[in-house]
Structure 1
Amino acid sequence: MRILSLLFFLFFLAACSGPTETTVSASADGPDRASAAADGGMILTPSAIQPVTVFTYEDIIWGFCWLPDGRILATDKAGKLLVINEQGQATPVGSGVPTVRDHGQGGLMDVLLDRDFANNRLVYLSYSMPGANDSGVAATAVGRGRLSDDATALENFTVLYAMDDKTDKGQHYGSRLAWGPNDGHLYFTIGDRGDRDNNPQDTTRDGGKVYRIAADGSIPADNPFVDYPKAKTAIFSYGHRNPQSLTFHPETGELWETEHGPRGGDEINIIEKGKNYGWPVISYGINYNGTQFTDKVAQDGMEQPLHYWVPSIAPSGMAFVTGDRYPGWKGDLLVGSLKFMRLQHVQLNGKEVVGEQKLINNLGRVRDVRMGPDDYIYASVEGEGIVRLEVQ
C-alpha cells in the first residue's frame, strides 16, 4: 500500500510541476496524422510547415487584423497602433489612439475592424485604461474610433465599456475581441485582474468574465443578467481566470475560448450564455508555489472545459484552420503557446479533441494567431514580428 501511495504521489508531482509535458488534457495524444487520410488524401506533418517573416518587429505585437486593401493593422502593447504594408513597413497611426498603462500584462491589446468597416472605417480596441492623475491603477476597457481615410489618425475615439474596479495589479487583463456571426454583437474578455476570490464568481463585479455588447456599446436586451439586481448587464458568462483567446467556430457559430490556469489547468471552453465556468471553485491547476487552492475539479452548476493542459502551455491567440492550404488540418485549432514558444495544433473531430501536435518549436512567444485573407495562417511572435506559415 505504501508503494502504491508513493507511486501516485510521484505521478502527481510529474504531472503538475515537472519540466516535461506528461499530461495534455483528459485525453491522451491522438493519432500522428502524418501521412495519409482514410480517403487517401495527404495530411501535413509539422515538419512541412515553415515560418516566413512578413514583418520584423522588436517589441510585442499583441493583436492584428487586415484592412480591406491588404495592409495589416496591429497593436504594439506599449501603445502604438501600426499600419503595416505588404513590404513589411510600418507607419504608426499618429493621433487619437487611447493612452494606455503599459504595465505587466496590460497595454494596447486587441484590435478588430467594424463589420461595416468599408463604409464607416470604425476600429475597435481593447486596452488597459489608466486611472486619473497617473495614480498607477488601470482597468481593461474597450472602445472604438474612426480610422482616417489616410490611416494617419484615429478620430473620435469613444470608450464603450470599462471595468469599474481599477487596480495597480499588472495581471489578467484579458482581452480578446470577436464579432458574433449571428447576432452582430461584440464579445470580449476581461481576466480576473488578480482578484480570484472576489471577481470571477460575482456577477455584480467586473473581472473574470466574457462580455457581450452591441456595436455602439449598448446592452443587448437578451443578455443573461439584464434582469438581475446590481449585476453587470454586459456579462455573457462568468467564472473565468484570464481568457486571452476568443473566436467563433467558422461552421457551427459556437464561441470558443482559451484561458490561462495557474500552475496547470489551462483550458479550452465553448462559451454558452449565462454559464459559470468555475474559476476558482473548480480547477485542474494548483498554486504557483505547489499548494492547492481547491480540492474540486467539478461541481454542479459549473461547466467542464472541453480540454485542459497540465502542465500549462500559457495559451494566447487561437484560430480555426480554414481553406485548403493545409491538407488534413481544416477545422482544427491552432493555439499559441507563450510558455513553450510554439504553436499547439489541436486536432478536432467536431467538439472532441483527438490529439495534439507541437508546431514549430522555439518559434518564440506566440501572442496572436489569425487566418489571413489569403488562407495562410499568421502569428505574431514577441520580439520577432509577424510570421506566415508556409507549406514546404
Structure 2
Amino acid sequence: MIFRLIIILLFSVNYVFSQEGLKIYSKYCVGCHAPNLRGVDSKTDLFKNRFTKKYIERQISQGIPNTTMVSWKNILSADELSSVAEYILSFQDNDLESDKKIKTDTVNSEQYKLVIQSIVGEKLKTPWAIEFISRDSALISEKRGSLKWMINNVIQSDSIEGLPKTYLKSSTGGYMDIALDPDYEKNKFIYLAYSFTNGNYDDKNALALTKIVRAKIIDNQWTSEQTLFEVPDSLMVRNGNRWGCRLYFDPEGYLFFSIGDMGRAMDSQDLSKATGKIFRIHADGSIPEDNPFADRSGVLKAIYSIGNRNVQGIDRNPQTGDIWASEHGPRGGDELNIINKGDNYGWPLVTYGLNYNGSVISDKTHMEGMVQPVTQWTPSIAVCPILFVSSDNYTKWDNNLLVGALAFQELRRLVIKDDEILKQEIIWKGKGRIRDIKLGKDKFIYVVTNGPDRVLKILPY
C-alpha cells in the first residue's frame, strides 16, 4: 500500500520513468534499495552518486565484488537491464530533494572510457590531502590550516576546532598530508603534517620546519594531541621553502614521512639535519631499532633515506612490497624512486635538473653510491602524489601507478614491470594542480586538485 502511494505521488509531480523499468525494479531491487532508491543503509543508497546508464547496466549485470550486489546477467535480458537503468536515472534526475546535480565529464583513456565526477567545487580552499574514514565520510586538509569533513559528498561548513596553528609566511607552508592510524577503529588517531615555528607566526624570518603530530577528533574538536616529530630551533631554518610532506603507513605499521630540503640543498646529505630526507618511525613517534642510522651518534635516528629534494608522494608497490616515492626536482629532474633503507638519492650532488635561473647545480647525473631514479621527468611536471591501483573497479589498471602533477596539471598512468616503466599515459590535463590521489572505501579513485573542481571521482566503464 505504501509503495502504491509513493508511485501515485511521483506521477502527480510529473516524474517520467519507464513502466517496464519500474516493474523490474519492484520485483528484484526494492528489497535492498527501497522504493525511493535510498536503500536500507548507506551501502545500498542509489542517490549517493549519479552514474551513466551504461555504468549502471554494467554494475547490475556483473555485480559488485565483496558486496551483496550479485550479478543479474543470467536473470535479466539486455532490454530489461536497459529498462531498469533508465528507471533509476529518471528517478534520480527528477529527485525533488536534490538541488545540486553532480557535474560529470568524460575522458577516453587507453583502457577505459572514464566518467569524471566533480564531487566538490570551490567550497574548499586550497585542499592538500584527503583521507577516507568510511564509505560516506572523509577528512580533507586545507593548506591555510583547517580540516574539513566531507559527508556524503558535501563539505561541512564547520572546520574542526582546536587545531594547531601553522606557519604561512612561506609560500609552500601550511597544512599538508593527513593519515589514519592503522588501528584507527580502536584508537581514533589522525596524523597531520604541517609547517611549524616556535617563534612569531607573522615573522617572515622566523625559524620553522615541518612537524608531525597525531590527535583525535571528538565532537568536532581536535584533542589529545601528541607530538611525534619536531626538531629543536637549532635545526629549523629561516625563509625556508619545500616542506614536503607526505605521510604513509606501510602494512607493518611503520609511519614514513618526508621533509623537503627547505632551500638548503647540501643539508640533504647531512645526517644531523632534518631537511631533504625520508623518515620512518613507529605510530607513537618512537624510533625503530632497525632504522639504518639508529645506532649512530650525532644523527637523527628517524632518518630512513637521504638526498631527497622534496618528496610529495609515497606509496607501496603491492607486487614487490617496495616503497616508492615521487620527488620534486628543480628546473627539470623530477624523480620517481624506489626507497631503500639507508640509501642516498643524490640531491644535490647528482641531478637531471638545473636551478630555476638556468644555472648548473651539478654536472653529474650519476655517482657511485647514489641511487638512480626509476624514471625522471625533464622538463619538470612538478610531480606530487602517487597511487598504486589495486581495486576490482579498475582491473585493467591493476598495479599501475597513478601520478599527479602540479605545474602540468596532469594525471598520468604508468605501466610498470620488474621496476621498469613500460608506458606512460596522460589520462587528463588541465583540471587543476593535483595534490592527492586516494582510493576510497568504495574502492573508487578520488583526486584532490587546486582547480575549480576540488575533489574528482573516477568511474570506469
What code does the residue aligned with 2:177 have? Answer: D
For 2:199 and 2:395, the matched residues in 1 are separated by 52
Deviation at 1:93, TM superposition (A): 4.1
Higher helix fraction: Structure 1 or Structure 2? 2
Larger radius of gyration: 2
For 1:82 and 1:213, the matched residues in 2 are separated by 27
Deviation at 1:44, TM superposition (A): 5.1
8 A contact 1:98–1:157 mirrored in 2: no
Match runs of 1:36-115 below 5 Å: 45=110, 48-57=113-122, 58-68=124-134, 70-102=136-168, 103-115=170-182
Give the percent of matched residue pairs that are identical in Structure 1 and Structure 2.
36
For 1:331 and 1:272, the matched residues in 2 are separated by 20
Match runs of 1:196-345 below 5 Å: 196-197=265-266, 199-345=267-413
8 A contact 1:196–1:280 mirrored in 2: yes
For 2:244 and 2:343, the matched residues in 1 are separated by 18
TM-score, L = length of structure 2:
0.72
1:169 to 239, 242, 262: 239
For 1:349 and 1:69, the matched residues in 2 are separated by 32
Larger RCO (alpha carbons 8 Å, 6+ apart): 1
8 A contact 1:56–1:386 mirrored in 2: yes
- Equivalent residue for 1:155? 223
For 2:180 and 2:112, the matched residues in 1 are separated by 34
For 1:326 and 1:119, the matched residues in 2 are separated by 30
For the aligned residues, what is the CA RMSD?
1.7
8 A contact 1:320–1:371 mirrored in 2: no
Deviation at 1:322, TM superposition (A): 1.2
8 A contact 2:135–2:440 mirrored in 1: no
1:190 to 245, 254, 259: 259
8 A contact 2:148–2:160 mirrored in 1: no
Change over 3 Å in CA distance of 1:245–1:87 after alignment to 2: closer
What code does the residue aligned with 1:68 have? Answer: S
For 1:295 and 1:239, the matched residues in 2 are separated by 16
For 1:91 and 1:112, the matched residues in 2 are separated by 22
Q: SS at the partner of 1:73?
A: strand
- Structure 1 residue runs of 5 or longer lacking an equivalent are 1-42
For 2:423 and 2:304, the matched residues in 1 are separated by 30
8 A contact 2:333–2:352 mirrored in 1: yes
Deviation at 1:378, TM superposition (A): 0.8
Deviation at 1:118, TM superposition (A): 0.8
8 A contact 2:245–2:312 mirrored in 1: yes
For 2:438 and 2:153, the matched residues in 1 are separated by 19
Count the aligned residue pairs: 346
Deviation at 1:324, TM superposition (A): 2.8
For 2:153 and 2:376, the matched residues in 1 are separated by 39
- Structure 2 residue runs of 5 or longer lacking an equivalent are 1-107
- Equivalent residue for 1:131? 198
For 1:196 and 1:133, the matched residues in 2 are separated by 25
What code does the residue aligned with 2:450 have? Answer: E
1:295-323 CA distance string (max 9 Å, x none): 11111111000111111110111101111
What code does the residue aligned with 2:181 have? Answer: D
Deviation at 1:387, TM superposition (A): 0.5
8 A contact 1:177–1:186 mirrored in 2: yes
For 1:141 and 1:94, the matched residues in 2 are separated by 19
The farther-off stretch of 236-245 and 64-73 is 64-73
1:115-144 CA distance string (max 9 Å, x none): 111111110000001232334432101000
For 2:231 and 2:315, the matched residues in 1 are separated by 22
